[in-house]
Amino acid sequence: MQLPIYLDYASTTPADPRVVKKMQECLSLDGNFGNPASRSHAFGWKAEEATEEARQHVADLVNCDPREIVWTSGATESDNLAIKGAARFYKTKGNHIITSKIEHKAVLDSCRQLEREGFDITYLDPDSNGIISPDLVKESLTDKTILVSLMHINNEIGVVNDIKAIGEITREAGIIFHVDAAQSTGKLPIDLSEIKVDLMSFSAHKTYGPKGIGAMYASRKPRVRLEAQIHGGGHERGMRSGTLATHQIVGMGEAFRIAKVDMDEDNKRIEKLRNKFWGAIKDMEEVYLNGDEISRAPGFLNVSFNYVEGESLIMALKDIAVSSGSACTSASLEPSYVLRALGLKDELAHSSIRFAIGRFTTEEEVEYTIDLVRDSVEKLRTLSPLWDMYKDGVDLDTIEWAEG
Amino acid sequence: MAYSKKVVEKFENTLNEPEKNSVGRWDPSDLDIGTGMVGAPACGDVMRLQIKCKPEKNSHVISDVKFKTYGCGSAIASSSELVDMLIGKTLEEAREIKNKDIANALDLPPIKIHCSVLAEDSIHKAIEDYESKL
């Protein structure tokens, strides 16, 4: 076993070796380096063939028409294009948009920008288990609503929204539904011929593809229209200009092809490791699982170790790569807005660690991590005055703290 | 967060050998003990500093220190560093310790300066508590 151990697969994944090989074939003179937009020679035709094959792989994974896939630089750009593009196109129909408090910043910041442009945004509260209730979406619709944007799998806690049920509501009301599915591909099956989603964002690097490439699904039936956000050359049917990055696109295509083939087996294994992990730490005192236990994607384990600050735990787990909802790991010095929106007290948000298991995680690595987590939490509690107080039976909420 | 080697070492030593690094607690009602607790759980750091003092000549000297800290790695390292500075000092000398001294000793990154401020506050609170019992 090699140290450090990577348990941050929800942040990014290593490219699968099969993906790397495909990408390498699209760069140099003896490879497929042409510009897919070059119509006048074989280099261009060959490159176009490769990008179209990749487009088919992406479409196959989510069961849509390849003409409904638009290449972007990643899920952040897809979210921007979907939200700002749809809002600006349909602004004469209404100015109300619905999203949630636990979306990715790419969605939240796009919505903030639209607020500055005069749109009204409703930020829905999740249930305490992290799920956005379809009923709440329904109740929040107004005659001015033009767009609902919600994530499929939450990137911090791995909770899964019922996008099928929400899609029924929005489609019936004639409102565009955008889903950020950056975390979903390869983790959950998506069938766009079944669910009524108009726009969906994808990322390659969360699914063992390269960084810097993503895609957006834009439904043809019914047809959703967008205002382009990047202009110049009219690539991707005018929705996203810019020379197609053949090697990146081919990498994403291969990653998504593999995801379709390997998904069931990968997930069975990952789920088993995740359950083993949680099963081995849940008996510890004052340890809480964040997010719904049932409606959850495989691989995610977001846990709060009460009375232990998350960043110090990460430092103690120095051979394990994980992330935390602690303020001390963020540039803003604010604890996770996702965990706070779930109603977690600040101190539990500060004490949270996200373990994210993936395709290359081994059982040995999980066992090593379990032992280290148990040992480190115990050591840090020895250092913690809050742990003393808890053990003494002091209710921390009754203390008047000098600060905050 | 890329910490200096000093922060990492201080943190790891404190974690692995707590007793040797003055981690612990005394009964705060003892007359020779001054206790200072600063910070808040909601802010992500709480320090409890305890000084054991004895009268000497015209002053009082800190003969031993114990602490516990809930917080990020640099908060734990800052309190541990402070302990090293306090032992053997008179209360007057201890009051002179500034957060900058701790920040410099550990090469704290700018975003973590508040950890050293908290450590400085804990001394003042502990001395205040001790003196209130005299």
Mean pLDDT across A382-386: 97
Summarize pLDDT for B16-67 with one digit per residue, the tens: 999 999 999 999 999 999 999 999 998 889 999 999 999 988 899 999 999 9
pLDDT tens digits for range A320-363: 999 987 766 666 667 889 999 999 998 899 999 999 999 999 99
Whether the CA torsion A33, A35, A41, A46 is positive or negative: it is positive
Q: Mutate which of A307, A311, A380 to disrupt the B interface (most B C-beta within 10 Å)?
A: A311
Closest-CA residue of chain A to B66: A383
Sheet of strand A96-100: strand arrangement: A69-72, A214-218, A199-203, A176-180, A145-151, A96-100, A120-124
The answer to whether residue B53 is catalytic is no
Q: Is B43 a catalytic site residue?
A: yes
- Confidence band for A404, pLDDT divided at 50, 70 and 90: very low
Whether the Cβ atoms of residue A230 and residue A240 lie closer than 8 Å to each other: yes
From B46, B51, B76, B115, the catalytic residue: B115
Nearest CA-CA partner of A190 in A63, A59, A57: A63
Residue contact B44–A403, C-beta within 8 A: no
pLDDT tens digits along A268-322: 999 999 999 999 999 999 999 999 988 999 999 999 999 999 999 999 999 999 9
Interface list for A 311-340 with B (CB within 8 A): 311-312, 315-316, 326-329, 331, 333, 335
> What interface predicted TM-score (ipTM) does this complex get?
0.95
Our CA-based measurement puts residue A389 at a distance from the nearest CA of chain B, in whole angstroms, of: 11
**Residues A269, A361 contacting (CB under 8 angstroms):** no
State the smallest CA–CA distance between residue A4 and chain B in angstroms: 16
Residues of B within an 8 Å Cβ radius of A: 1, 3, 8, 11, 14-16, 18, 23, 25, 37-48, 68-73, 75-76, 111, 118, 121, 125
Question: Which of helix, strand or coil describes residue B50?
Answer: strand
Active site positions of A, annotated: 328
